[in-house]
Structure 1
């Protein structure tokens, strides 16, 4: 039976460098020769120019959206296809606009009685809070909607408990940019 101490002496110890010298890592000069490549130019489906002013267009022609949830709150980011449209979107996307767009989703029935609509609108005004933040680094808006998801994913009776399909509702809204 071999002694553990003897076994340790037979093992080779390797010293790992703490840093790598510049000479040991080849660095590109920043230029890549693509002359021998068969490249196809792909155009983006998104415009490289601002959205039209004074004309109603669906929001999806101006921006895209990403939706998330946390408990009873949801948030969505509105990212314009043309980053300079962010200033014009800020004029349209207000807490009142968000509540107006989302409040019909809170109806318990597709054919609510007018009294139920009035009651819903009052509840939305008192309980749903909307916060809008500009995310300057990526030219987008982050919209937080509080108390909108029927008590959150675990308790909600909705089909779309996370609120992901709400992005389609928002994107389908007709907007007129200034």
Structure 2
């Protein structure tokens, strides 16, 4: 097994509403989706976003489009107009999650 950054096998989109962030992760190939389901658990997402997401994280599986959707509560220090963060928008969470590490079988020939 090799460890790769999520960006090697998936892409992401994210956005915000108030103090909540939505992050969608799409497998680049159907063979990658089971790896996302297995390894992108709520516990691992909570650890990955420690200090940024202070509330609950919910995960939704979308097998028909080989995607996962994460809804992260209390993630923006109150939201755009009340946050003192330099980056107070949810769109950057999609870029951040692409640094998440995934183990892939050597046979997948991923960088």
What TM-score does the superposition give when structure 2 sets the normalisation length?
A: 0.84
RMSD: 1.6
Query: Is the Cα contact below 8 Å between 1:64 and 1:80 reproduced in 2?
Result: yes
**Residues of 1 paired with 2:82 and 2:40: CA distance?**
29
Alignment map for 1:14-163 (pairs within 5 Å): 54-105=1-52, 124=54, 128-163=55-90
Q: SS where residue 96 of structure 1 aligns?
A: helix
Q: SS where residue 50 of structure 2 aligns?
A: helix
**Residues of 1 paired with 2:85 and 2:64: CA distance?**
35
- 5+ residue gaps, structure 1: 1-53, 107-123
| 1:109-152: CA deviation from partner (whole Å, max 9, x where unpaired) | xxxxxxxxxxxxxxx4xxx1011111233110111011111111
Which protein has the bigger strand share?
Answer: 2
| 1:104 Cα offset (Å) | 4.2
Match status 1:174 vs 2:101: yes
Q: SS where residue 100 of structure 1 aligns?
A: helix
- 5+ residue gaps, structure 2: 106-111
What TM-score does the superposition give when structure 1 sets the normalisation length?
A: 0.55
Indicate the structure whose relative CO is greater, using CA pairs within 8 Å and at least 6 residues apart. 2
**Residues of 2 paired with 1:64 and 1:85: CA distance?**
11
Which protein has the bigger helix share?
Answer: 1
| 1:73-105: CA deviation from partner (whole Å, max 9, x where unpaired) | 101000011123111211111111111111144
**Residues of 2 paired with 1:83 and 1:159: CA distance?**
37
Q: 4+ runs of 1 displaced by more than 4 Å? A: none
Query: Is the Cα contact below 8 Å between 1:92 and 1:177 reproduced in 2?
Result: no
